[in-house]
């Protein structure tokens, strides 16, 4: 226990130290004509609270859609589950994902909670794994589809780097479609043999096998997956809008990349941020967005401050969500106790 606390403290220290370095490094950035476009100069300008509030609204809407997505995945397996429960467990998962290192800490807690509350525990855990996969696919598919539409319409004119992003996302999207199609021809026996082979891999074998079984389990729930993929794309669209308006908190819209461009760079930045093994990807995420902005010819500081503004929104939602979770917990326990006989009968009937 003490070792985990020490590791957590070290990761927080590393993340905050990295963020402090980014802020210090780019506090003053002078252009050739002598203009200061650094973080310090941006913070001296007026703060725009209306875009910040709009960002909060988009972020909240996107969060609620992720709860709906998970609910659909759980019900697709005929597990007894309710929307309030999806919200309750989703809130604690979001709170932990926001404040713990990495981006899957909350998923582990969600999986533990739902496994404890369901009789078909393996299936219950599989819903959490697939929810994460569908979320990532939705992010890539959003980037690819929007990029292709912008490209074909001639609206994409800012930078060649955006074309590279579109091609990369399109390749991943096409690969996922081919994988999903071919998976339908794999017999159950072969799927279990492959899962058994994955189990032999040291340390991560069990997790890989469970992930593979989760994917296989949902191959025959294509309609539910399609609906959840659509919900995921809408949810990520809201997060793109949230970042776009959060960036306007410190930087006027005319000094930012266009909204079209944000639909391409925000998914990339979010992916990089999720891969940084620090609390909320702090420090690394800010640096990534700064680089993305600078690559397109915009202020590095604007990218950093945009993510910092969005972080304030996420921290606020996470804390409020945790308080709501605590208040929902006793009420839902009482409701579950009253309806337990009905749920048990339904589960036996299935």
User: What is the per-residue DSSP string for 253-300?
Assistant: GGGS--HHHHHHHHHHHHHHHHHS-SBTTTTHHHHHHHHHHHHTTS-H
63 in Cβ contact with 56 (< 8 Å) = no
Tell me the pLDDT of the chain (350 aa) as tens digits.
677 778 778 888 898 999 999 999 999 888 788 777 889 988 988 999 999 999 999 999 999 999 999 999 988 888 888 888 899 889 988 998 888 765 555 677 777 777 777 776 777 788 888 898 899 999 999 999 999 998 888 777 657 788 889 999 999 999 999 998 888 888 888 888 888 888 888 877 877 787 787 788 788 788 889 999 999 999 999 999 999 999 999 999 999 999 999 999 999 999 999 888 888 888 999 999 999 999 998 999 999 999 999 999 999 999 999 999 888 866 555 545 544 444 344 444 44
Structure tokens of 8?
């957590």
Other C-beta atoms within 10 Å of 158: how many?
A: 17
pLDDT for 205: 83
pLDDT, one tens digit per residue, over 99-128 is: 876 555 567 777 777 777 777 677 778 888
pTM for this one?
A: 0.86
CA-nearest of 131, 119, 123 to 94 is: 131
Alpha helices in 184-221 (DSSP H): 188-199, 205-218
- Alpha-carbon distance values, 28 to 32, 142, 145, 246, 318 (Å): 13, 35, 38, 22, 32
pLDDT for 104: 54
């Amino acid at each position: 226990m003490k070792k985990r606390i020490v590791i957590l403290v070290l990761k927080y220290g590393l993340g905050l130290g990295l963020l402090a370095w980014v802020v210090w490094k780019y506090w003053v950035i002078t252009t050739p004509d002598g203009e200061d476009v650094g973080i310090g100069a941006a913070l001296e300008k007026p703060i725009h609270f209306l875009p910040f509030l709009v960002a909060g609204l988009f972020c909240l809407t996107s969060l609620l859609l992720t709860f709906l997505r998970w609910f659909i995945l759980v019900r697709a397996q005929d597990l007894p589950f309710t929307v309030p429960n999806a919200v309750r467990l989703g809130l604690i998962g979001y709170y932990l994902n926001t404040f713990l290192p990495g981006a899957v800490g909350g998923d582990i807690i969600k999986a533990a909670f739902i496994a404890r509350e369901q009789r078909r525990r393996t299936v219950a855990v599989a819903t959490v794994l697939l929810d994460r996969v569908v979320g990532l696919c939705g992010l890539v598919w959003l980037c690819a589809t929007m990029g292709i539409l912008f490209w074909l319409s001639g609206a994409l004119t800012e930078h060649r780097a955006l074309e590279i992003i579109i091609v990369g996302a399109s390749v991943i999207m096409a690969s996922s479609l081919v994988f999903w199609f071919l998976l339908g021809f794999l017999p159950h026996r072969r799927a279990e043999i492959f899962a058994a082979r994955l189990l032999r891999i040291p340390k991560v074998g069990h997790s890989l096998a469970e992930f593979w079984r989760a994917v296989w389990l949902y191959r025959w729930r294509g309609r539910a997956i399609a609906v959840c993929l659509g919900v995921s794309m809408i949810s990520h669209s809201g997060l793109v809008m949230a970042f776009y308006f959060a960036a306007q908190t410190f930087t006027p819209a005319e000094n930012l990349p266009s909204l079209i461009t944000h639909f391409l760079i925000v998914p990339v930045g979010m992916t990089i941020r999720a891969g940084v093994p620090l609390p909320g990807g702090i420090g690394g995420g800010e640096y990534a967005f700064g680089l993305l902005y600078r690559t397109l010819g915009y202020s590095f500081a604007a990218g950093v401050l945009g993510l910092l503004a969005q972080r304030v929104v996420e921290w606020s939602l996470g804390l409020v969500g945790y308080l709501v979770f605590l208040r929902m917990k006793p009420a839902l326990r009482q409701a579950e106790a009253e309806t337990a006989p009905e749920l048990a009968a339904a589960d036996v009937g299935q």
